[in-house]
Structure 1
Amino acid sequence: MSDHTQKIISPVDGSVYAERPIARDAEIDAAVSSARAALPEWRAVPIKKRADYMLAFLDALVAMNDEITVELAWQMGRPVRYGGERRAAEERVRAMAAMAEEALKPYVPPETPGFRRYIAREPLGIVLVIAPWNYPYLTALNTIVPGLLAGNAIILKHAVQTLLVGERIDQAFRRAGLPKGLFHNLVMSHEQTEALIRSGRIDHVNFTGSVAGGRAIERATAGTFASLGLELGGKDPAYVRADAKLDHAIENLVDGTFYNSGQCCCGVERIYVDAGVYDDFVAGFADLTRKYVVGNPLDQATTLGPMARSSFADTVREQIAEARRKGATALINMKVDGDRPGSPYLAPEVLVNVDHQMEVMREESFGPVVGIMKVRDDEEAITLMNDSPYGLTASIWTQDMERAAEIGARIETGTVFMNRCDYLDPHLTWTGVKDTGRGTTLSKYGFDALTQPKSFHLRAV
């Protein structure tokens, strides 16, 4: 890669799909100055009017969806049959626009005669969004939309693998007529990004990516007093209890494991199954997994495309090989064209006879592989689910809602699901614990993360 450009190497065929010049330092400086200058006028715009801009932006983005779907296949390998990220983007943007006024209204404490007291929520200022490639629209919009609704300006630095996403978002805001200066899409190097954070000109940083990347971001913010939102690694567990509706659990957990070739922040990476239903669950899970069609994501018949990069696929291959050396059994062993070391094309795999001495049960895989373990009871399942440095989501498959809530209260995670997985509800907060990160997006609490409380204590004399 040239020092002056960034290239998208397509996982479809290894070609250079697009190449863009890296921003000059003067361009970055001008973008920050423009964003700062736009803030006072934007703060004066009523929230309802800001929401109208967001809905017009959404309409513009949706109008491009056919092209976006093909671009995503070329950039990161998701099959075109899934139609991009349109449906979830619509749900989230509409939900955040609808809840903004209520979420951002002042808090008024109990009345005291002769006083007017309230806490207003003021924008932080300039928000830097550093977005990942795996769900390149959704992860960016999680902060961009509430950030603008709350009165901030946004600078987006998108992942190299999905550079065109930033351009599409910029186009949609232009078509929506968003006032000048409030949104900037910048192609920056890691060094430029860190320098911008260290400059003290950024008020909040939202980063989705690796644990190592999160530590680098945190180091860069040191001393600037910028606030921080980090969503980092994950190793999300599922627990199938003896009373689970088995066909429902199998269907949803196979999809939750392998959708997007397993490249989901909240994808299922390890499954614990009650001994009483273990054999039936494993048999059904393996049978359904064998129905995946691995191939070119531009083909409507393909249900599992390539991973975004060959190095990611090789990491999963190494985890599978290590697990097998330690005694794991691979159930699928599917032969597909192109599945070899150094290729992003990777068949789905299900491993049994696994334990927590194996990387595949401890370290993030972020690919189409899952380990399934037999457990005696709830206590063993809880212990194993918590035996991880990460905590984003966990799912419990049962027909006992009270018991699911009791188990969920003991799991170290940001979100507890019952009888579903791999989904973000925009009315619930999206957060992680342990090495998965800090901060929150979505829900009314997502607005809290993008604003500063300001107290008013007014006395009549």
Structure 2
Amino acid sequence: MTATIQLISPVDGRIYAERQCADVAQIEQALAAAATAQAQWKRRPLNERAAFCSAAVDAMLAMKAEIVPELAWQMGRPVRYGAGELRGFEERARYMIGIAHDALTALEPTPIAGFRRQIKREPLGAVLVVAPWNYPYLTAVNTIIPALMAGNSVILKHASQTLLVGERFAEAMRRANLPEGLFQNLLLDHVSTGAVIASGRVQQVNFTGSVEAGKVMENAASARFLGMGLELGGKDPAYVRADANLEHAVENLVDGSFFNSGQSCCAVERIYVDQKIYPEFVERFAELTRQYVLGNPLDEATTLGPLVTPGAAFFVRAQIAEAVAQGATALIDPQAFAADVPGSAYLAPQVLVGVTHQMSVMRDESFGPVVGIMPVNSDDEAIALMNDSEFGLSASIWTHDLAAAEHLGNEIETGTVFMNRCDYLDPALAWTGVKNSGRGVTLSRLGYDNLTRAKSFHLRHEI
């Protein structure tokens, strides 16, 4: 019997959508079609690929009115912020289309008489994109558009929590008249996903999700020599130096901690503040946090929606309770947020002080609206604490001193260093992580390297 997936909305706990998973025959058909379509697609001139991809972006944006409330129902993001994801989707897609010519142009070493030498970028074949629910358009587009631009076919396996996003991608590609089989959206269970990876019929897997799921992906790919791009989360730190613009730092770090209810791999989850400004920083931070409006994400007044599931909220509540039991102080009264009901997906934001690195809330990824704040006495202490983590996705430094930020950035074990901003992906820069935050690169020119292989031409034309 074919498995069925139910999308349970965090808004009210009801079934929002229900679909059947692809069966063995459908998966086989998709893999065969992907190979056939890719063999022809890779021969199309780059400007033709760009025209198709640009048309797909246009088609997706044309569905904005349906997509924004659909996102709220699927994963809980307030409708007032839904259009922002589509703006980011467009920015990344158009940037990667725009740089494709330069990124994919053959490299030519210093000329040698009688020879023509080149390093060309060849497409890999079929690329499997396993996308998460928390930023379902942004994370998927990071690979989908550049993979197509590079001459690959794409199979998208979206998270069951946002399965309608996969259907939106498929519809956008259909409206753009992409060749049949070149892009396919498959609803797969875990077993079928592993089987596709292990089949040898895909040549690259780009996955965004948990560390444990990433290990499962790698095990499925063992002995297949597949390319693996893994973004596996974070526990991203911020360091506020004594010379920081306090108002700017507070405003942006509150947003970086609680936007999307903290459900972001690069959300700020721990903050270290110079002792000299620590009391004022904490006071301002807590006061701004209290201004959030927790409620139904379909309401325009809501600024903080529910977590994706009651289970996710339970985990964060448990982290907070454990920290308080171990001596931390919670600065936000949950009772001030009427929608915060124990057992539900609705959870008030929380700010913890008196925290230590012996507490789960400062070690383990929370993926929810909670942040711990610690005072530090020096740059060296801040660096040591920032690096005291199994993760390394992004880190932010808040200071007026550019030289100091660059120096500190060189010492922090992370994929991206921010100065006076956080929780943002610049498509011109490599998005990558270290340690258990994963490996591989998306976005920027380097993102194309993970979606192509080098092919050398050593041609002696004078004999």
* TM-score (normalised: structure 1): 0.99
- Size of the aligned set, in residue pairs, is 460
Aligned to 2:415: 414
| Offset of residue 58 of structure 1 | 0.8
Which SS does the other structure have where 1:127 is aligned? strand
Counterpart of 2:51, as a letter, is D
Q: Does 1:65 align with 2:58?
A: no
Q: Does 1:100 align with 2:111?
A: no
Aligned to 2:400: 399
Measured in 2, the distance between the counterparts of 1:12 and 1:346 equals: 12
Measured in 1, the distance between the counterparts of 2:62 and 2:38 equals: 29
| Offset of residue 200 of structure 1 | 1.0
Aligned to 2:39: 40
Q: Does 1:198 align with 2:205?
A: no
Aligned to 2:388: 387
| Offset of residue 265 of structure 1 | 1.0
Measured in 2, the distance between the counterparts of 1:332 and 1:338 equals: 14
Deviation sequence 1:31-72 (CA, Å, 0-9, x none): 000000011211111112211111111111001011100000
| Offset of residue 310 of structure 1 | 0.7
Give the alignment of 1:215-226 within 5 angstroms. Answer: 215-226=215-226
Measured in 1, the distance between the counterparts of 2:287 and 2:304 equals: 16
Measured in 2, the distance between the counterparts of 1:276 and 1:52 equals: 55
Measured in 2, the distance between the counterparts of 1:282 and 1:29 equals: 56
Give the alignment of 1:228-377 within 5 angstroms. Answer: 228-335=228-335, 336-377=337-378
Counterpart of 1:53, as a letter, is F
Counterpart of 1:404, as a letter, is A
Counterpart of 1:106, as a letter, is A
| Offset of residue 380 of structure 1 | 0.2
Measured in 2, the distance between the counterparts of 1:340 and 1:198 equals: 43
Give the alignment of 1:80-159 within 5 angstroms. Answer: 80-84=79-83, 85-159=85-159
Counterpart of 2:137, as a letter, is Y
Measured in 2, the distance between the counterparts of 1:426 and 1:201 equals: 29
Measured in 2, the distance between the counterparts of 1:406 and 1:109 equals: 34
Deviation sequence 1:414-454 (CA, Å, 0-9, x none): 00000000000000000000011110100000000000000
Aligned to 2:77: 78
Measured in 1, the distance between the counterparts of 2:339 and 2:21 equals: 33
Which SS does the other structure have where 2:136 is aligned? coil
Measured in 1, the distance between the counterparts of 2:243 and 2:210 equals: 36
Per mean C-alpha deviation after superposition, the further-off stretch among 110-119 and 327-336 is: 327-336
Q: Between the two proteins, what is the percent identity of the paired residues?
A: 62
Which SS does the other structure have where 1:92 is aligned? helix
Counterpart of 2:104, as a letter, is L
Measured in 2, the distance between the counterparts of 1:436 and 1:216 equals: 15
Counterpart of 2:310, as a letter, is S
Which SS does the other structure have where 2:49 is aligned? helix
Aligned to 1:14: 13
Per mean C-alpha deviation after superposition, the further-off stretch among 47-56 and 133-142 is: 47-56
Counterpart of 1:205, as a letter, is V
Deviation sequence 1:239-272 (CA, Å, 0-9, x none): 0000000100000000000000000111100000
Which SS does the other structure have where 2:334 is aligned? coil
| Offset of residue 3 of structure 1 | 5.8
**C-alpha contact 1:238 1:396 (8 A) present in aligned 2:** yes
Measured in 1, the distance between the counterparts of 2:144 and 2:234 equals: 23
Q: Which runs of 5+ in 2 are unaligned?
A: none
Measured in 2, the distance between the counterparts of 1:183 and 1:342 equals: 40
**C-alpha contact 1:66 1:83 (8 A) present in aligned 2:** no
Deviation sequence 1:342-372 (CA, Å, 0-9, x none): 2100000000010101000000000000000
* TM-score (normalised: structure 2): 0.98
Counterpart of 1:393, as a letter, is S
| Offset of residue 338 of structure 1 | 4.2
Measured in 1, the distance between the counterparts of 2:276 and 2:309 equals: 39
Measured in 1, the distance between the counterparts of 2:32 and 2:313 equals: 41
Measured in 1, the distance between the counterparts of 2:96 and 2:63 equals: 21
Measured in 2, the distance between the counterparts of 1:222 and 1:83 equals: 38
**C-alpha contact 2:329 2:354 (8 A) present in aligned 1:** yes
Measured in 1, the distance between the counterparts of 2:251 and 2:51 equals: 39
Measured in 2, the distance between the counterparts of 1:380 and 1:121 equals: 44
Measured in 1, the distance between the counterparts of 2:2 and 2:346 equals: 29
Measured in 1, the distance between the counterparts of 2:398 and 2:53 equals: 37
Which SS does the other structure have where 1:137 is aligned? helix
Aligned to 2:211: 211
Measured in 2, the distance between the counterparts of 1:403 and 1:162 equals: 42
Aligned to 1:50: 49
Q: Which runs of 5+ in 1 are unaligned?
A: none
Which SS does the other structure have where 1:431 is aligned? coil
Deviation sequence 1:58-90 (CA, Å, 0-9, x none): 111001011100000000000001133111011
